[in-house]
Structure 1
Amino acid sequence: MDRYEASANRGEPIQWPGGARIAVWLVPNIEFYELDPPANPARAAWHRPAPDVLAYSRRDFGNRVGLWRLMDSLDRHQVRASVSLNAAVCDHFPEIVRECVNRRWELLSHGIYNTRLLFGMDEAQVREVIRDSVETIRRCSGQQVAGFLGPAISFTETMLDLLPECGISYSIDLVPDDRPVMLKLRSGQLVCVPYSSEINDIRILGFRSYSAAQWAAMVTAAFDQLYEEGERDGTVLCIPLHPFIIGQAHCIDALDTVLDHIGAREAVWFATGREIAAHYAAHVGAAGQFPLLAD
C-alpha cells in the first residue's frame, strides 16, 4: 500500500490546468505595524517593550524599499503574486496597492493591522475585522476578496466559520497538506489552500537566522520533491515572502535563484490563491472534504 492509498481524506487525484504537475504561488505579506498597538491578552505584538523602534523601522523598510526589490524580481520572471494584505496599507500606503493592482496581483485579506491579533476576540469582533478588511481592500483596489490569513496568523476557535459570511472562499491559515482540502465548517465549506510555515522567509531567515543561500536551497528542494510527486497527484508549493526579509540587499538574489530554478521546468502552473482554490472547488469539491472544527 503506497502513501496515496494509505492517506485518508485526500480525495481524488488533482489535475492542474494544462497538465501541470504542480501549482506554485508566491505570497508577499504586505503588512502595516503600529509603533504602540493596543495590548492583546494572549501575547504582545512586539518582543521588546513599546516603543520598539528597531523592530518597527525594520518592517517600515519592507514597505519603503524591500517591496520594490521584490516587485522587480517578480516582474523579471513575469510571475504574478497573491498579496496577503493588511487592510491598513490601503490607507497608509495606497500607492503600494495601486502598484499591486497594476501588476494584476491578487489581494487577499490579512486582517487590518499586523499588530492587532485575533486572540481573545469574540465572534462579533472577529466578524467585524473580516468585514472591515474585505470592504477596505475592495474599496481601494476594486477587487472582490476571496482569501484570508489571520493577522500574524492569529486565530479563534470559530474564525473559519465566519469567513464565508464575508464572501471568503479560501483560507491559508492551516497547513494540513501539500494539496488543497475542502474544510467542512459549521455552515458551508471553505477551501484550505496550502501555505507554508517551513519555508517561510520570516521563519528561516528571520527567526532561525539561516543564510539566504540556505533558504533558496530549502525552497528548491521542496519544489523538486513536490514536482516529482505531482506526476501522480497535483501538488502545491507556496512561497511566503516578507518584503522586510527577502527584500534586504543581501537576500533578494536568493529569490531570483529560486524563480530561475522553477522557471526552468515544464508542467508548472504559476497561479494565484484564488485560481488554485477555484480550480480545486470546481474539479474536486466535496470529494476532498476534510471535517475540521465541525460537529
Structure 2
Amino acid sequence: MDAWHPRDLRGAGRDPPDPRWPSGARLALQFVLNVEEGAERTVLNGDDGSEDYLPEIPGTGRRLGQRHYSAEGFHDYGARVGFWRLLRLFETRGLPLTAFAAGRALELNPEAGAALTERGHEVAGHGYRWIDYRDVDEATERAHIARTCRIIEAATGRRPVGWYTGRVSPNTRRLLVEAGGFLYDSDAYDDERPYWLSEGGRSHLVIPYSLVTNDIRWLLSPGCATADDFFALLRDAFDVLWAEGRDRSGLMSVGLHARISGHPARIAAVARFLDHVADHDGVWICRRREIAEHWIRHFGVNGN
C-alpha cells in the first residue's frame, strides 16, 4: 500500500470529528483562485506544442511546433483582466482567498503575487508549470517544487505552506513531505474534511479540494451555460452543508479561475453567491492555511 496515496473507503466512517471551527461556525467556506496563466503548454515555455485543453474554442487541438494565438489569448485574458476583476470583488467584500499559483505564472507576472499579498490572501504552490506531472521525471518535479517556492517567496515575501498540483505524479506528495515546510496539500477529492497521512514517523495533512463546486463546470459538458447555472450550483451546495451544520459542521471549497470566472457574464454568479452567503450566520470564510493551522492546533499532528 502506498502510504501517501491510500485507497481508504471508510475515512472517518459514520462519526467524523467535529471540526470545532472558530466561533462555533457551522460551515467553513474557502475560495481558491487558480493562477495558471502563462504556465500552460506553449512553445514559448519550451514545449513541443500549444495548450490543447480549450473547450471555449471548439474543434481546436494541440498544435505541434507552433504557437496557438487563440489559446494564448484565452489565457492572457485571465492575467490581464479576469484576475484583477476577481480581486476587486473580494476586496470590496473584505473576504480572503487562497491562490493556487503556478510558479511560471508568477515568474512572468510577479505583480499578481504582490497584489495577492497586499490584500492579505494566501499564495500556495500549484506546480511550476500547469501541466500533467505524470509526464515529468522525479528529479525535474523535485526541482520544480523548489523553484516554485523560491518564486512565490520572492513575489510575496513568504514561502508557501500549502500545495496543489492538480495533475499529480506518483511522487508529488512524497516530494512535498521530503521538502518540508508545508502545512498541507489539497490534491485530494475524497472527503470534505481534512485528514492526516503518515509513514515512517512523518505526517502530512490533506485538505481536500472540489472539482464540483468549481468554475471548471463552465467548460465541461454538460455544465454551466449562464450565471444562473453556476450560482444555483454553488447555492445548493452551500444550503445543504449549512443545514447539515446544525448537527455536524462541514467544509465547502469553491474553485475559481481568472480566465473563466473573470469574465463579466460569469463573475455575476460569484457576486450573487457571496450575497447569498452574507445572508447566513455561522459561516467561517477563511484561507486554507487557516484551516490547516486550526486542524493542527485542535487535533495535533496525526490527530483524529
Bigger drift between 260-269 and 87-96 goes to 87-96
- Tell me the residue number matched to 1:267: 282
Q: Distance in 1 between matches of 2:171 and 2:16?
A: 25
SS at match of 2:303: helix
Aligned to 1:199: 213
User: TM (normalized to structure 1)?
Assistant: 0.87
> What displacement does 1:156 show?
1.4
Q: Which whole-Å deviations, capped at 9, do the CAs of 1:245-264 have from their partners, x for residues lacking one?
A: 11112111111101111111
Give the secondary structure class of the aligned counterpart of 1:287: coil
1:227–1:146 distance in 2 versus 1, CA, 3 Å: same
Task: State yes or no: 1:182 paired with 2:187.
Answer: no
Structure 1 match to 2:42 = 35
Measured at CA, do residues 35 and 122 of structure 1 come closer, stay the same or move farther in structure 2, by a change above 3 Å? closer
Q: Distance in 2 between matches of 1:14 and 1:266?
A: 17
State the structure with bigger RCO (CA 8 A, min sep 6), 1 or 2: 1
CA contact (8 A) 2:42 2:51 kept: no
Q: Is the 8 A contact 1:30 1:85 kept in 2?
A: yes
1:137–1:143: 8 Å Cα contact kept in structure 2? yes
Q: Shift in Å at residue 86 of structure 1?
A: 1.0
- Normalised to the residue count of structure 2, the TM-score between the two structures is 0.85
Structure 1 residues 230 and 185: CA distance shift in structure 2, 3 A: farther
* Match status 1:239 vs 2:246: no
Q: Partner of 1:129 in structure 2? A: 144
Deviations 1:47-105 (A, max 9, x none): 41323322221111001011111112111211111000011232211111111111011
Indicate yes or no: 2:91 matched with 1:75: yes
* Residue aligning to 1:163: 176
Partner of 1:53: 69
Change (3 A) 1:184 1:229: farther
2:187 aligned residue (168, 173, 194): 173
Alignment of 1:254 onto 2:278: no
2: CA distance between counterparts of 1:269 and 1:88?
32
Q: How does 1:75-114 map to 2 (within 5 A)?
A: 75-114=91-130
How far apart are the structure 2 equivalents of 1:155 and 1:44? Answer: 20
Task: Judge conservation of contact 1:175–1:195 (CA < 8 Å) in 2.
Answer: yes
- For the residue of structure 1 that corresponds to 2:280, the secondary structure is coil
Judged with a 3 Å threshold, the aligned counterparts in structure 2 of structure 1 residues 215 and 277 are, in CA distance, closer, same or farther, namely same
Q: RMSD of the TM alignment (CA)?
A: 2.2
Residues 274 and 6 (structure 1), Cα distance of their counterparts in 2 relative to 1, 3 Å cut: closer
Q: How many angstroms apart in 1 are the aligned matches of 2:14 and 2:102?
A: 33
Q: SS at 1:119's partner residue?
A: helix
One-letter amino acid of the counterpart of residue 62, structure 1: G
Identical counterparts, % of pairs: 26
Output the CA distance in 1 between the equivalents of 2:142 and 2:183.
Answer: 15
Whole-angstrom distance in 1 between the partners of 2:82 and 2:298: 38
Shift of 1:185: 4.3
The superposition leaves residues 88-137 of structure 1 with CA deviations (integer Å, 9 ceiling, x where unpaired) of 232211111111111011000001121x4311333322221111111211
| Residue 23 of structure 1 pairs with residue 37 of structure 2 | no
Q: Does 1:12 align with 2:17?
A: yes
